[in-house]
Every structure is written in C-alpha cells, then in structure tokens.
Structure 1
Amino acid sequence: MSSFLKYEQDGHIVTLTMNDPERRNPLTGNNAVPEFLEAIDRIHRDSSVRAVIITGAGSAFCSGGNVRDMDRYAQMSGMQLRQEYRLGIQQLPLALFNLEVPVIAAVNGAAIGAGLDLACMCDIRVASEQAKFAESFVKLGIIPGDGGAWLLPRIIGLSRASELTLTGQMIDARQAAEWNLVSRVVAHEQLLATAQEMATAIAANPPHAVRLAKRLMREAMHTRLDTLLEMSAAYQVLSHQTADHREAVSAFIEKRQPTFSG
C-alpha cells in the first residue's frame, strides 16, 4: 500500500488513514482512489475483518477534489472527462456501498466537497468537535459528481441537503449532529477512541449477521418494502442455519458470554 492511504489492522478492525496532511488529504490529483479501491478489495477478501474506520491525518478529514488539479479538465474532451469521473472518483461510492463490512467515518476535521461525500459513503459518522462540513461544489461552478446528490438527501433529508448543496455553506460539528449528518460529536482527543469503541462493539457480534443487516439497510435505501421483506426472509434462513446463531442462543440460555467464530 503506497503512501496516501495507511492500512492498519488490529484484531478484527481495520483503520484506513488518509495520509496527505499537507494537502489536507485530497481525493483527486493523486493515487487516493486506486488505493481506496485496493484497500476495499483487500477487506472484502479478508473474512477476519469485521469493522472499518476511515479517518484523516492532520487537521483535515478530507478536502475533496484537488482544485489545483482541475485545470487539466478544461483540456479534455467531454467524453474523456466523463470517463475520468466514471473510472475514477465514481468507483469509490460503488465500492463502499457494496462492501459488506460496516464502515465508520471518524471525521477529525474539515470534510469538504467530495470529502463530505466520502463521509456519507460510510455507514456511521462520528465527528470531532473540530470537524466542519461543506457540500461546496457549487462554489467552484460544478456539481457533486461522486454520488453526493444521491447520498446526502437520504441521510439528512431533501430540504437540508438542498440548503448545503445550493449554498455551498459550511456547518460545524454541532449543527451536523442536529441535522443527523453525524451520530455523535466528541472531544477531538477522544475521536479515534470513540470510533474504535464503536467498531469493537460491532466486531463483537456474529459477523454474518452484521454483514447481512448492513446489506439489508443499504438495499432498503432504493427498493420496495415487499422486495426487501423477501430478501429479509432469505437472509434470515441463512442466519438461522449458522453456527454463530446456535452459539448465540446457547449462550443466552446458559447465561454466558458467546464466542463467535464467523
């Protein structure tokens, strides 16, 4: 793994740290997207991983697109630029959406543009009191090209997503919590410990149940109730037949801590 993304595993938990603090951890004009895709594929293939944390090094979580890199877009044809998006940044929301392992965004600082959208691609967002958020594409005369227009309204509702997207204004961590953009705000020095505690609580559960529950919630974002219920029935059949389910029931009856093998 090269230098932009630091991959660390402690037991069942992987922490991915965007590691370009001098440039505030941008997602374009560097190798960020390929490294994220490589890391996600590695996690997908490693059944020992039960939870993932994404955070940033330095004062920012992620500054989004590298503005200094955008001049080259004007030199491309329309079709070239379309492919640049389709084969570049747009691969990231698809990869994170389809990753069955739960992902926690530990937002340590500014999450701007595609940086905010990256946080929205995660399942859970925890913010430092120093975090700030902006869907700022409009300030540069562009639109959210990375799925933010799909993700943000589903998280905070259409009215508030429209306010953020159409004004480009920044909100602080307190307002982000009020708008349900993040599930909690903690002291800056407690951010990673809080995310790790949450990841540990997730990893303590039967991994098949966690993965299937995440998949159901993801599918529920864009499917009908009857379709989701049919899917739930199929997943429940699989769950009832696992050794971890039998262990959970036995441990409950015997009043002991369960041991899940995955």
Structure 2
Amino acid sequence: MSQPLPELTDATLTLDNRVATLTLDRHDVRNALTGTALVDDIVATAAWVNGCQEVSVLLITGAGSAFCAGGNVKDMAERGGDFAGDVAEVAERYRTGIQRMPLALHKVEVPIIAAVNGAAIGAGFDLANMADMRIASRKASFGETFLNLGIIPGDGGAWFMQRQIGYQRAFELTLSGRVISAEEAFAYGIVLEVVEPEQLMETAMAHAQRIAAQPPKATRLTKRLMKMAPDMELKAFLDVCAVFQGMCHNEPEHLRAVERLMARMKR
C-alpha cells in the first residue's frame, strides 16, 4: 500500500479492491459529529484518500442504528462543548471544527458513496449530501432539523442540498424541519436507491466496485469535471475538458482499456 491507513479515533477505515470504507463508530451517541472525534477522522480520511492512488471510491456508513445524528443536543442545552461562548467564539469553533468536514469532503478526488443505515439528522443529513451518491436502508430517515432548534445549517447544508434536489424542495425541507422516510427521500432524488437493511452494504459495495473497476486516473479527472461543471461557462469548461482528455490519452490505463475492448470485439 502506497499510503498507510490513517490512525482514527472514533471511526474505522478499511481498503479492499480499491474501495475505502469509513464507518462512523460512535453508536453510543448515534455517531454525533460534535463531542466526538468524528470530524477529525473524516478530515484525516479525506486527505489520505487524495494521497493514496490505490483508492478509487470512498464509502461512508455508520455503525449501530444511526448513520449520523449531527450535533450533540445535550451540549446545546448546556451551552457546552462546541456551542459554548459568545458569537465570536462559537463562529471560530465552527470554522476550525465542523466546517473543516464539508471543505475536506468537497475536495475528495474520488467518488463518495454514503450508505445510509439509519437516521441522518441535521449535520448528519448534510454529511450524506456531501457524498456523490446515497444508498439508503429502508430504516433510514432524513431531516434538515436545524430550524427546529432555533439554529441554521452551519456546516454548509444549505449549499449542498439545493445542488442535489433544487432550491424549492431544499427550501421546503430546510424551513419545515421535517424528518422524511427513505422512500420519500428516494422520491425527491436525495437517494439513488432504497434497499432492505441487510442488503445495504452489499448494494452500496456493488455500486462502489463498479466504479472502482474503471481506470482510476480517468475516474478522478471525471469527478473533477462533474464538480466543476455547474460553476463554469461552457467555453472555459470545454478548454479544461480538452486538457484533461490530453492527459488521459497519454496514460497507460487508456491504452490498456482500448486493448481490452478490441480483444472483446474479436471474440
């Protein structure tokens, strides 16, 4: 392995057949992102993935009954932990704390799949939306519940969700604070597929392996293009495509892929 696995505190990480699986492992607090080391673990994993060329897909899931409960409500009630202090102190703690997670995941060079095993609430819902694809257990639920607690989505949720499902639907879910089922999330286009709980990891891994079987360098470049496209004018975007294509045509993996295709055509 070109890059050793990072040492994590509250999550586990494995690498098998080019798929890295990150499991949030604080089921005692429903995998809450505050009051745990999970944000640190996610940020460390994101940096490792970008530096490890043996990774083609990052799969994120949760241990226990919840995918991720977001913020620790007990700390909110006590004005402690990440939520203590005046306006400036709280703002700085957000910038140096949970906001590192969306910035790190947004820069991940490989496709990210979230296997949502249970409740994805608040920042946990936002974490799922930071992935490129979401597969949900039938037991999963989703809620952008910040406003119910008199706070806003401080981790960037208002930026991510509307890019997934459009402004109007994202606005309604965010302003209502409704918790929705996996089936409703599927109807809204939040999740790609809903499966029985015992089939979740098998289904998510099948998607991951299908992507991981593609030429790895071209896969990373393709994800970069997909992320860049919404914010670019067509002409500038095509210029980037031309350069990336030139890079691909000069990679050995391209020639190997062409040779495999030609061999199948001769059969």
Which TM-score band applies after superposition, normalised by the shorter structure?
Answer: over 0.9
CA distance, structure 1, for counterparts of residue 84 and residue 44 of structure 2: 29
- 2:138 corresponds to 1:122: no
Within 5 A, what are the aligned runs for 1:66-85?
Answer: 66-70=72-76, 71-72=79-80, 75-85=84-94
TM-score normalized by the length of structure 1 = 0.94
Cα deviation, 1:3-25, whole Å, max 9, x if unaligned, reads: 41111111311110000112110
Within 5 A, what are the aligned runs for 1:52-71?
Answer: 52-70=58-76, 71=79
Where does the alignment leave 5 or more consecutive residues of structure 1 unmatched?
257-262
Offset of residue 148 of structure 1: 0.7
SS of corresponding position for 1:217: helix
- In structure 2, give the amino acid aligned to 1:146: D
- 2:225 corresponds to 1:216: yes
Q: In structure 2, what is the equivalent of residue 12 of structure 1?
A: 18
- 2:47 corresponds to 1:41: yes
Q: In structure 2, what is the equivalent of residue 32 of structure 1?
A: 38
Offset of residue 36 of structure 1: 1.1
C-alpha RMSD of the superposition: 1.3
TM-score normalized by the length of structure 2 = 0.93
Tell me which moved more, 29-38 or 113-122: 29-38
CA distance, structure 2, for counterparts of residue 155 and residue 54 of structure 1: 18
- In structure 2, give the amino acid aligned to 1:77: D
Q: List, as ranges, runs of 4+ consecutive aligned residues in structure 1 with deviation greater than 4 Å.
A: none
- In structure 2, give the amino acid aligned to 1:120: N
SS of corresponding position for 1:61: strand
Q: In structure 2, what is the equivalent of residue 260 of structure 1?
A: none
Within 5 A, what are the aligned runs for 1:135-150?
Answer: 135-150=144-159
Tell me which moved more, 167-176 or 66-75: 66-75
Q: Which of 232, 238, 246 is the matching residue for 2:241?
A: 232
Percent of aligned pairs with the same residue?
45
- In structure 1, give the amino acid aligned to 2:75: D
SS of corresponding position for 2:67: strand
Q: In structure 2, what is the equivalent of residue 259 of structure 1?
A: none
Cα deviation, 1:69-126, whole Å, max 9, x if unaligned, reads: 2212664122221111111111111111111011100000100000000000011100
- Count of matched residue pairs: 256
Within 5 A, what are the aligned runs for 1:83-232?
Answer: 83-232=92-241
